[in-house]
A = this chain, B = another copy of it.
Amino acid sequence: MTIHWIAIARTLGGLLLFAGAALLAPAGVALGYGEAAWWSFGGTALGTLATGGALWFGLGGVAPQDKDLGIREGFVIVALSWVVLSLVGALPFVISDVLPSYTDAFFETMSGFTTTGATIFGGGGNMDIEAMPRSFLFWRSLTHWIGGMGIILLTLAILPILGIGGFQLYRAEVPGPSADKLTPRVRETARRLWLVYVGITAVQVLFLLPAMSGFDAINHAFATMATGGFSTKNGSVADFDSAYVDGVITLFMVLAGMNFALHYRMLRGKAITVWRDTELRVYLGIIVAATGLLVVSTWSVSGVRLPVASEAQTSFAGYDSLGEALRYGVFQAVAIITSTGFGTADYEMWPPLAVGVVFLLFFCGGMAGSTGGGVKVMRHVVLAKNALNEFKQLVHPRAVLRTHLNGQPIAPAVLRNVLLFVVLYILLLFLGTLALAALGQDLWTAFAAALSCVGNIGPGWGTVGPTENYAHLPALSKWILSFLMMAGRLEIITVLIVFTPAFWRR
């Protein structure tokens, strides 16, 4: 059984047609604002459309039919999709000289499409975010939004077919693994999820409009719904200095970190079944608990500060009012757990307990089937339930015990898949840390950069902290982090399987 490379090439050709069409949008924005950069988008779009068209139509007669596309072709296509999109999407940055280095441009674009939001740009100097042409600000946000939509389709419609992700629990909403593969039913699921995604984005734009320009509202809505985190401001969301904006973005980050199948169910009026979802309850519970700890730690009641809010290490003076502590606490808790990475406060300067809480949130992640990255709440739930079950089994060695989630037994295959994911996640995190340290970063920064990128969060710690950026890293480190972003975004297994001998044998 050989792999049908021609079919893969044709599918990627289709993806290029899509990318070319997408590039016309920033070209239009550039023309609208009278920016000279329009041709760097327009030219890239033309070349991309031509290449894509040649592959798609040229191979139309040669390529095997859809039914010949098997699991292995699926893995190759998924793994290559984000690479192809980023290779093409990086070109306008270089052509227009906004980012002269192709390495930087690729990093920025991969960071966009993977909804990571780690950026080469930083406040000040040549790399001033606000000095960038608006068409590039829009393109960065659009890569987020496209990537976010892509990941929802992937995890809820395509990966279950490939047997990946531990999300087979949601098969009720999507077709099972079957002979008919990419059937009309998948297309129908995709269409509905797309409508939900577009709808919520539009509502967020409306909510943001009273407090910012239409351009900023669209860009921040794109970055929020994708849990991306690119901002049009040097100081991220903090620059709006508005409790209203913070509140709206917090709310929509929470929505973006939820399983989109739940949104769809909710719209169909099944709110009660949504509320019964265990993962949702844990997700909201973590947000509430983390916010509580952050408030306790950062709120400076006049004269009375808790010992956990010790100022020993930082110059952070504490928030004067409960409202302020709550506003910054909940925003940052949600920004990190959902892996959005927006900032309204420099969490590295917070008191020790708050710093510890934010650090733990780096390992949490949003819900399965959301646009959020990281480990995902679902996997933590499965691991916790399994751990409690194992303890019971040790006390009662002869009992036959099963673990349930939302009333259904957790299949052994799901558990094994979660285990595999966690092992590979840690492996990538550690190899990434080692590589970045070897290339000159201090260990803490190396660890934080690898963690932030594999979890698609964006900001890290140390010299890639929330007030810093990734520009100063050596080129090879940027390529390594680009790979980590892609692997993390595609649930890791999908990417690494292509590197195993078993995949290519026979």
Interface, chain A (partner B; CB < 8 A): 71-72, 162-164, 177, 297, 308, 310, 312-313, 352-353, 355-357, 359-360, 363, 383-384, 386-388, 390-392, 394-395, 397, 415-417, 419-420, 422-424, 430, 433-444, 446-447, 461, 493, 496-497, 500, 502-503
Q: Which of A308, A363, A383 has the most CB of B within 10 A?
A: A383
Q: Is the interface of A mostly helix, strand, loop or mixed?
A: helix
Question: B420 contacts A422, CB within 8 Å?
Answer: no
Chain B residues whose C-beta falls within 8 Å of the C-beta of A439 in the assembled complex: 308, 352
Residue of B nearest to A418 (CB): B419
Residue of B nearest to A363 (CB): B430
Question: B438 contacts A353, CB within 8 Å?
Answer: yes
The 6 closest A-B pairs by CB, nearest first: A356-B437, A353-B438, A356-B434, A392-B502, A352-B437, A390-B420
Compute how far the CA of A356 lies from the CA of B436 in the bound complex, rounded to whole angstroms. 9
Chain B residues whose C-beta falls within 8 Å of the C-beta of A177 in the assembled complex: 397
Q: A353-B437, A384-B423 are in contact. List 17 more A-B contacts (CB 8 A).
A: A308-B439, A352-B439, A352-B442, A359-B433, A359-B443, A359-B447, A360-B430, A383-B423, A387-B420, A388-B502, A390-B417, A391-B502, A391-B503, A395-B500, A419-B419, A422-B422, A422-B423
Q: Which of A391, A415, A417, A436 has the most CB of B within 10 A?
A: A391
Compute how far the CA of A60 lies from the CA of B422 in the bound complex, rounded to whole angstroms. 49
User: Per a CB cutoff under 8 Å, which of B312, B397, B437, B500 touches A388?
Assistant: B500
Chain B residues whose C-beta falls within 8 Å of the C-beta of A163 in the assembled complex: 394, 397
Question: A443 contacts B355, CB within 8 Å?
Answer: yes
Question: B356 contacts A433, CB within 8 Å?
Answer: yes
